[in-house]
Amino acid sequence: MRTRLPARSAVIRALFGLAAIGLAAQAASPALSPTVPLTEGPFYKAGSPERSNLAASVTAGQRLTITGTVSDLEGRPLGRAWLDFWQADSAGRYDNGGYQFRGHQFADAAGHYVLTTVIPGEYPGRTPHIHVKLRAPGGKTLTTQIFFPGNARNDSDPTFDRSLVVAMSTDGKSGQIDFVIPAP
């Protein structure tokens, strides 16, 4: 018996060790893939007005409502996350003198956001896209872009990333994309 006790303890220690390794592996592999960061480009302007409707005074272009959530890597909502959107108008022009098609908003307590806008036009070298910066309260800013399915120029735009394509409704009037950023 005397010789078996240490052996049994060793087995127990080993099992606890394996359990600890398993827990560590779980912690190291998050449930969700983080949103891919992309270049901010040359047209960002700080100080956009707080608004979720970028098309309130706009008549040209195809209206679009984009919804989604901001969550951390474990899928926990990041309530009150800041999202700052900017984009070209439907003719592919940025308003660099003012704030048309620029606006920031805060996700609700459950991490939901709603953006009302129009589908942006192409401009030289770029497939249609909307820029966004987002940040959880107290966290770091992530800058990226979102895209639209089926555009002929998607694959020839070196900035295009398939993971950032908005899921569009069949009528083309609404889209959905979630953002995943590290918790602060």
Give the Å distances, CA to CA, from 29 to 37, 47, 122, 124, 179: 19, 36, 38, 40, 18
16 contact partners, CB below 8 Å, separation of at least 6:
none
Interface region with Fe ion, contact rule CB under 5 A, candidates 24-32, 35-43, 46-54, 60-68 = 35-43
CB of 130 to Fe ion, least distance (A): 8
Judged by CB, which is closer to Fe ion: 52, or 144? 144
What is the biggest distance separating any 2 CA atoms in the chain, rounded to whole angstroms? 87
Give the separation between CA 12 and CA 22, rounded to whole angstroms. 15
Tokens of 52: 């979720």
Residue 41 touches Fe ion, criterion: CB under 5 A: yes
Interface region with Fe ion, contact rule CB under 5 A, candidates 40-48, 49-57, 75-83, 171-179 = 40-48
Judged by CB, which is closer to Fe ion: 64, or 136? 64
Judged by CB, which is closer to Fe ion: 107, or 132? 132
Residue 121 touches Fe ion, criterion: CB under 5 A: no
CB of 106 to Fe ion, least distance (A): 23
CB of 178 to Fe ion, least distance (A): 21
Nearest to 162 by CA among 57, 64, 38, 24: 38
**Interaction site with Fe ion (CB under 5 A):** 41
